[in-house]
A and B are shown apart, each in its own frame.
Chain A
Amino acid sequence: MNYFLILAVASLSILSLLQRLVPWAVYKGHKGETILTIVFDYVAISAFGSLMVENIQSFTPVSLVPLIPAVLVAYWTRNAGATVLVAMLASLLLSVSGL
């Protein structure tokens, strides 16, 4: 048994939990007193935009083209599930068609 690795996993587990909980708990006690209320909308938008790019595996037409119908579905339906399914379906069609 590798105790060093167990310690590392335990440390990561505690760190992950604290980083989710502590800022929230601190904010709960000081609600409405900070500029953060105004900032939140921009945090969400910037996080979504950045995470979208971060999770694209490669910048190729085959990986980006399926996102075009996904944009249209997201705009018209505002349904996350439908958008994801359309993107995956478009990607599958591109793969099957040999592009």
Chain B
Amino acid sequence: MLKLDSGTFGRIVAILTTYVPSGVAYGTLATALHIPWYYTVILSVVVYSGAVQSAFVGLWAIGFEPITMILTAFLLNLRHTFYGPHLEEKYPLMSSRDMYSIAPVLTDEIYALAVSDPPMKVPVVRNLGYFAYSCWVVSSALGVALAGGLPLFLYPILYLALPALFLALLIPRVKGASTALSAAVSISVAVVIKLYELPEYSILISIGAGILAGLLMLKAGGGK
């Protein structure tokens, strides 16, 4: 069971307000692209990656090419390479059993919430992960059911939840010159990538640029 202290409650609210709108949006989009409902839901159950699933339905719409799909999925999920090891550092007492149970439900949001302060207990991280997974699957199915039924003005409001969540998780981590520079560089590069409509996996460039800038500043004596 999740222990409902104020930190956990805030994280549950964050998951509900981000996963439900995103899942509904994914289900609606997939249905609008004439993808059978069972593929839409099965993708949520077995792939469980908003970015990869969106890429899948996007490629479905323009003509499916398997090598492109696999390569795109690999690049989109490449950032996950850092998530598990970071959790390992944050929660040094985590057992192999914990790792095997949490890894399948480790997403951007769960990673972000788990490494944010105050730290959670490992079972809470795991429960939060499976709660988010359930929200994603159910809201994807809900999106299929609601396709075309939601008022249009609601979509921009729902879509705002994810950027707001990452903003909320970013701000407390900026504690000095090098972390501020790291944030500024990654955001600036990400804006350029977005404005030039580069592929989604170009996000790796902005992440890499932010890390490099932070480390260089730290080495130059800028302080965290």
Contact = CB atoms under 8 A, between A and B. Distances in A.
Given A40-B82, A43-B82, A9 B167 contact: no
A95 B157 contact: yes
Is the interface on chain A under 10, 10 to 19, 20 to 34, or 35 or more residues?
35 or more
Contacts of A19: 74, 77-78, 80-81
A16 B164 contact: no
A42 B170 CA distance: 11
Given A19-B77, A88-B164, A50 B203 contact: yes
A80 to B, nearest CB: 4
B33 interface: no
Contact of B14 (A10, A54, A81, A92): A81
A46 B209 contact: yes
Contacts of B218: 38
A70 B164 contact: yes
A41 B116 contact: no
A79 B12 CA distance: 11
Contact of A81 (B11, B49, B166): B11
Nearest to B87: A24
Interface of A: 4-5, 8-13, 15-17, 19-21, 23-25, 27-28, 31, 36-57, 59, 62-63, 66-67, 70-71, 73-75, 78-88, 91-92, 95
Closest CB pairs A-B (n = 3):
A24-B84, A46-B210, A81-B13
